[in-house]
Amino acid sequence: MKVYLHSIGCRLNQSEIETLARQLLAGGHEIVADPEQADKVVINTCAVTAQAARDGRTLTRRIHRGNQDAEILLTGCYAAIAPDELANVEGVGQIVSNQQKDQLAQILDPQIRLDLPLFDQEPVMRDFLAGNGRIGNTRAFIKAQDGCDNKCTFCVTTIARGAGQSRHLGDVVAEIQALTAAGYQEAVLTGVHLGSYGRDLHNNTNLRHLVAAVLEHTDIPRLRLSSLEPWEIPDGFFELWQNSRLLPHLHMPLQSGSDKILRRMARRASQDSFRQLADAARAHIPDLNLTTDVIVGFPGETEADFQTSFDFVREIGFTRLHVFAYSARPGTAAAQMPDHLPNAIKKERSRRMIALGQELSLAFHQQFEDQTRPVLWETAVGANGDGLRWAGYTDNYIRVQAAGPDDLFNRVTSTHLTAARSDGLSGQILV
């Protein structure tokens, strides 16, 4: 069977689609890059913004028009919160709930075995890494946790994915061992609320124990964390970065820098708590790249609230911003709040916050001009007379482009960093 897979949205969705790809390959199926060649199509949808939901509908219709014979299965957060709405979209075959998602490979092929020991899957992972699965890349995303017990008033993810659930520590370690044996250079631990890892296991395990176990019991050269909510960080957590395999990059979603708006969002953070956390992280992690998400135009956000948020983002000196103009999501408390703002105001605030993000990114990248850092090379982005032009990421997650040999994919090299831009740096490969 030929299957086309597509993920919209977060790293967690991506990790799920990568796991599905490996299961299908291990079951003898083919992952195709072109939906027109597929017998089945799986789209892991996202509902975090109205735009992400629209993207899911548009993609479904487009794929159906290009290949009316393929059955299209939709899963993910949008499919979970609005199955009836999606069922009416032209071309939709099956809706698979988030609860059934772990059985998706068997829904596609009931003969597939999901209980293969991870080391038996290692050759498949190697194939996948080499691009034979088409969506493989040098960084493997590993789901350590799903769901969330918080109720941030804007958040639809917690509605779609339910209560927090952690994978057993030994399973995560075994998966990363197998990925390392397959040749992956970097593992990224993902979760909806990674900081709550272990709470539901009732055995006093937390994220610090998980990260320490991965560092101790695997040889993965680079370990990165995906998004981490700015609370419930275990004691002594930042001391883990004494191990240089744990990469100096943290993505901690602020959402707003105004205490008033943070309360309306029901976030468990304030200016003070965030400032303390950022200070503690920077005190322990040299050259930390601290990135964040910011929502602008939340219901009730006045110009003064926005300015407070803007000033706080500058004060903390985030090094990259993902800016979202607030959009009401069905079933959330914020959707019922008064004082929703006109789109024109949200757009204008977005524009200003994005410009600030670009200014902060450029300033951060300029600090690394003329320095040498390790870069993991991921993609050939072009060619010129000197050979291929490659893109990759430093340990502290700065995107770098450099000319390099044909066999650079999935290698880490020392790289001399040169001209800074807001989207990264240029470089020269040293070894």
Nearer to ligand SF4, 125 or 192 (CB): 192
DSSP 90-141: TTEEEE--TTTGGGHHHHH-TT--S---GGGGHHHHHHHHTTTTSS--SEEE
Q: Is residue 13 involved in binding ligand SF4 (CB under 6 A)?
A: no
Nearer to ligand SF4, 229 or 395 (CB): 229
Contact region with ligand SF4 (CB under 6 A), list: 51-59, 133-141, 152-160, 313-321: 152-160
Closest-CA residue to 364 (of 304, 317, 309, 296):
317
Q: Is residue 47 involved in binding ligand SF4 (CB under 6 A)?
A: no
Q: Is residue 155 involved in binding ligand SF4 (CB under 6 A)?
A: yes
For the record, the structure tokens of 189 come out as 């631990």
Nearer to ligand SF4, 106 or 150 (CB): 150
Contact region with ligand SF4 (CB under 6 A), list: 6-14, 38-46, 123-131, 147-155: 147-155
Q: How far apart are CB 267 and ligand SF4 at their closest, in Å?
A: 7
d(CA 76, CA 157): 10
Q: Is residue 418 involved in binding ligand SF4 (CB under 6 A)?
A: no
Closest-CA residue to 82 (of 107, 57, 108):
57
Question: How many contiguous H segments (helices) and E segments (strands) does the chain have?
Answer: 13, 18
Residue 58 sits at φ, ψ, to 5 deg, of -60, -45
d(CA 192, CA 27): 28
For the record, the structure tokens of 204 come out as 């006093």
DSSP state of 36: G
d(CA 230, CA 194): 10
Which member of 31, 148, 233, 290 binds ligand SF4 (CB under 6 A)?
Answer: 148
* Residue 384: strand pairing partners: 387
Q: How far apart are CB 139 and ligand SF4 at their closest, in Å?
A: 22
Nearer to ligand SF4, 48 or 408 (CB): 48
> Interface mask (CB under 6 A) for ligand SF4, residues 228-267, using x and -?
-x--------------------------------------
**How far is the CA of 118 from the CAs of 22, 121, 172, 176, in angstroms?**
11, 5, 10, 9
d(CA 214, CA 372): 27
Q: Is residue 146 involved in binding ligand SF4 (CB under 6 A)?
A: no
> Interface mask (CB under 6 A) for ligand SF4, residues 103-142, using x and -?
----------------------------------------
Q: How far apart are CB 255 and ligand SF4 at their closest, in Å?
A: 7
Residue 358 sits at φ, ψ, to 5 deg, of -65, -40
> Interface mask (CB under 6 A) for ligand SF4, residues 200-219, using x and -?
--------------------
Q: Going by DSSP bridges, is the β-strand pair 387-394/372-384 parallel, antiparallel, or unpaired?
A: antiparallel
For the record, the structure tokens of 188 come out as 């990224």
Which member of 94, 100, 150, 165 binds ligand SF4 (CB under 6 A)?
Answer: 150
Spatial neighbors of 334 by CB under 8 A, at least 6 apart, are 153, 154, 264, 265, 298, 299, 326, 328
Which member of 5, 192, 223, 269 binds ligand SF4 (CB under 6 A)?
Answer: 192
Nearer to ligand SF4, 266 or 354 (CB): 266
Q: How far apart are CB 111 and ligand SF4 at their closest, in Å?
A: 35
Which member of 11, 29, 143, 193 binds ligand SF4 (CB under 6 A)?
Answer: 193
Q: How far apart are the first and last CA of the chain?
A: 42
Contact region with ligand SF4 (CB under 6 A), list: 27-35, 146-154, 294-302, 318-326: 146-154
Contact region with ligand SF4 (CB under 6 A), list: 144-152, 356-364, 384-392, 420-428: 144-152
Q: Is residue 394 involved in binding ligand SF4 (CB under 6 A)?
A: no
How many residues sit close enough to ligand SF4 to count as binding (CB under 6 A)?
10
d(CA 176, CA 12): 16
Q: Is residue 398 involved in binding ligand SF4 (CB under 6 A)?
A: no
DSSP 264-275: HTT-S--HHHHH
d(CA 284, CA 243): 11
The footprint of ligand SF4 (CB under 6 A) covers 148, 150-152, 155, 157-158, 192-193, 229
